[in-house]
Amino acid sequence: MMNTQRQVLFDRWAAKYDSSVANAAGSFPFDGYERVLATVVEAADAKSSMTVLDIGTGTGQLAELFLAHACVVWGVDFSAEMLAQSRTRLPQIQFVQADLLAEAWPMLPAQFDCIVSTYVFHEFNLRTKVAILQRLVKQHLAPGGRLVIGDIAFPTVAGRSAAASRWVAEWDEDEFYWAADESVSAFQSAGLAFEYRQLSSCAGVFSLSPAASALFSKR
């Protein structure tokens, strides 16, 4: 289950979240924030009537972009205060409070054309990241669907280490920032094909889909 202290942190952050990520160019951890969100929508190939599940929807900024493309959007978050912000912002969207580490979310529709997330998965170590992605594919991704993840990330482990030295004061040792090169074998073992695109000094986007072998074994 999610750490109670983290939940309290995000509840307290909810009212100020949008202002804290605005105009963050050049600063860690939100350098390139708006570009990341726009790229997630682009990589998802958002279009009218597409069903989209937004994981860790927060205040609804990403969900709002998909809504602008006439997608059918559901949002999930563990923070009641974040969801209060998103419901005020987007009353026409279905939002659900749920633990991101729960084994199942029966309150959601069974399948979505695309599953997306921004600035969430760095809360989990690589093994847990991949386990969550596998569960999402199995339980909620429609055939031919994809997952698109935007997050605090670096192309390599060495690049991540250099960033830790650069942003000593801002770096959170309790978080697990992505390194694309160390993720390759984990994704392959999970049956996930992926592409990675670096978008700023500290953020990138993963586009993932079940590999052909995984699709065959799932049948």
Of 151, 203, 165, nearest to 31 by C-alpha is 203
Mean pLDDT value of segment 6-26: 84
> In DSSP terms, which residues pair with 107 in a beta bridge?
none
Instruction: Quote the mean pLDDT of the chain.
Output: 92
Q: Is 175 left (phi over 0), alpha (psi -120 to 50) or beta?
A: beta
Q: What single-letter DSSP state applies at residue 159?
A: H
Residue 6 is predicted with a pLDDT of: 77
Domain borders along the chain are 33-218
3-state secondary structure of 72: strand
Of 87, 37, 92, 86, nearest to 60 by C-alpha is 86
Of the listed ranges 2-11, 12-21, 182-191, the one predicted with least confidence: 2-11
**DSSP code string of 28-51:** TTTTTHHHHHHHHHHHTT--TT-E
The number of angstroms, rounded, from the C-alpha of 186 to the middle of its chain's C-alpha atoms is 17
Mean pLDDT value of segment 94-122: 94
Q: What's the CA gap between 211 and 193, in Å, rounded?
A: 5
> In DSSP terms, which residues pair with 138 in a beta bridge?
none
Of the listed ranges 8-22, 66-80, 115-129, 193-207, the one predicted with least confidence: 8-22
Of the chain, the percentage scoring pLDDT greater than 70 comes to 95
Tokens of 215: 């699709």
The CATH number of 33-218 is 3.40.50.150
Which amino acid is residue 151, in one-letter code?
A: D
Q: What's the CA gap between 98 and 102, in Å, rounded?
A: 8
Instruction: Dump pLDDT digits (tens) for 19-69.
Output: 988 878 889 999 999 999 999 999 999 999 999 999 999 999 999 999 999
Q: How confident is the model at residue 108 (pLDDT cuts 50, 70, 90)?
A: very high
Residue 217 is predicted with a pLDDT of: 38
Residue 176 is predicted with a pLDDT of: 98
Q: How confident is the model at residue 12 (pLDDT cuts 50, 70, 90)?
A: confident
Residue 2 is predicted with a pLDDT of: 60
Q: Are 205 and 33 in contact (CB under 8 A)?
A: no
Q: How confident is the model at residue 211 (pLDDT cuts 50, 70, 90)?
A: confident
